[in-house]
Structure 1
């Protein structure tokens, strides 16, 4: 069960775009011929997409959650930017988006785990390969699920802002099935549910490598964060660059 509307008000402060992330994507812009074409899967409220579009890039944001998509659309205040948002899932994107078009495809903030079926995850990598132009890249940002996989229940690191905190729990159901629960706690102590036992697939590094290679990608780099610090088995999160 999802109650995403409880998250929308606090989304930008719980998942801020950091200076390191801006710098990381600015570096990506320098690798391709202008205008660089970006696609974000699970774009949330569109903060990063609006920033990229202001740099004279071509930006497409996909979002399945109506409330987040509406927030992203409200931020798009000028028609002079090459920026568009669509309510679209990863299953649909290869049917409706231009093939061999995008230089960079991003899926950040753990959104990839909500592609909760292993077959659909494989399809995700194959579809990204079709959508990417020559020498294009996938950027993934997610937790290091090697720290949690196959444990009966794991409490993940809390995310907090000045006003609220966000707690998350991953539960092993059976075989390859996992349930993800997430709650917001306000300053007054009120608990607001976001996800209640949502089906997820906590993909781990070796699976990313297998799926990427199956789809025809040849290079994978892991970092602990957008500052490109060294990723280790104990790193709580990772940024993955696939090309």
Structure 2
């Protein structure tokens, strides 16, 4: 994301934490004894983390992008809440975070595709398994890439807020090489780049299942939204629970 500063101002608008998402996590976390240990990978500006930390949840947010991390830290005004943010990639997390510590690990807002190498994606699932408690789970939210990887160029769903629209184009060079280009368009028609041909890997449903089972997970549930509407082949969005 070479021009991420262009999206920081609009990030909370384009990736809002909805009431359905709050209720989804309230239900998910309620099965664990408090304080629940929660890790979010690619935490962005930290809205979800700060909200969950109010509910006796011990929260860790990881982010690689400095400008987003600074925004997340500014939101953490109540020092009594158990929330912390680190600038850290998925490659590093198993070295620096506690193994067998977390109840829930999340990677939302399509951020998993920026782990752009298939070997590293496999490692991601193995590392999550190491970081989780025995009864822990992983939550992923991403597009259903089975709908988009059949063409050399695909337009992904737009994200629209009151002020801007985020437009995304996925280009396929071969089965192992994909690039994402994103631009923000303002109401007056101005275009600002977010990323230009960023290397990504649009992981598919069968790969999620394969990598998860290789890592020792035994259950994968697919939904099309945070209301747990069952996903089908035509669902454009996926919320995945891996146990």
Question: Normalized against structure 2, the TM-score is what?
Answer: 0.99
- Distance across 1 between alignment mates of 2:150 and 2:174: 9
- Residue 164 of structure 2 is matched in structure 1 by 164
Question: 1:14-54: CA deviations, max 9, x gaps?
Answer: 00001000000000121101110000000000000000001
**1:205 CA drift (Å):** 0.4
- What does residue range 109-124 of structure 1 map to in structure 2 within 5 Å? 109-124=109-124
Match of 1:92 in 2: 92
1:175 CA displacement: 3.0
**Deviation, structure 1 residue 170:** 0.2
Q: 1:182 and 2:145 equivalent?
A: no
Q: Aligned with 1:99: secondary structure?
A: coil
Structure 1 partner of 2:150? 150
Q: Secondary structure at the match of 2:173?
A: strand
Taking the aligned partners of 1:36 and 1:168, their CA distance within structure 2 comes to 35
Q: Equivalent residue for 1:47?
A: 47
Q: What is the rounded CA distance, in whole Å, between the counterparts of 2:121 and 2:29 in structure 1?
A: 27
Shift of 1:150: 3.3
Residue aligning to 1:205: 205
Matched positions, count: 243
Determine the structure 2 residue equivalent to 1:102. 102
Instruction: State the partner residue of 1:139.
Output: 139
Match of 1:231 in 2: 231
- Deviation at 1:157? 1.3
Paired residue for 2:38?
38
Displacement after TM superposition at 1:230 (Å): 1.6
In the other structure, the counterpart of 1:63 is 63
Give the Å deviation of 1:178.
0.3
What's the offset of the Cα at 1:174?
A: 1.9
CA RMSD of aligned residues (A): 0.7
The 4+ residue runs of structure 1 with deviation greater than 3 A are none
TM-score, length basis structure 1: 0.99
Distance 2:147 2:159 in 1: 17
Structure 2, unaligned stretches of length 5 or more?
none
